[in-house]
Structure 1
Amino acid sequence: MATRGTKVERNSVSEQPHELAYEAKKEGTTAKTVEAAKKSAGSNQRKAVESKLTGKK
């Protein structure tokens, strides 16, 4: 069982559609908004993206 990359994967939001859809559903917004928040944050770190999204509400 591989455990090497799991921590990194949980802390980031990738560009994959299912990742964007999950984060959008979790935050109650759209995938496009999540994508814009990622770009605005300049990072794909989940904590940074979520803070940008909560600031936009």
Structure 2
Amino acid sequence: MKENCPYFPTAAKVFHHNFSDPAKALGTEQEIMQQFRLVREEIKIYCKKFVEQNL
């Protein structure tokens, strides 16, 4: 289900990024764990780029 972000009237810059949902992964325990690890890496890369570009 796609969720909508709440709207707050402000001049603040809004950031949004979709990540895969590893809870939807299928397969063996190892395959599911690999999906969680991949998403973790996606988040780490996104956070690093966000800090470099915005802070």
The TM-score with structure 1 as length reference comes to 0.26
The TM-score with structure 2 as length reference comes to 0.26
Greater fraction helix: 1
Q: Say which structure, 1 or 2, has more relative contact order (CA 8 Å, 6+ apart).
A: 1
Larger Cα-atom Rg: 2
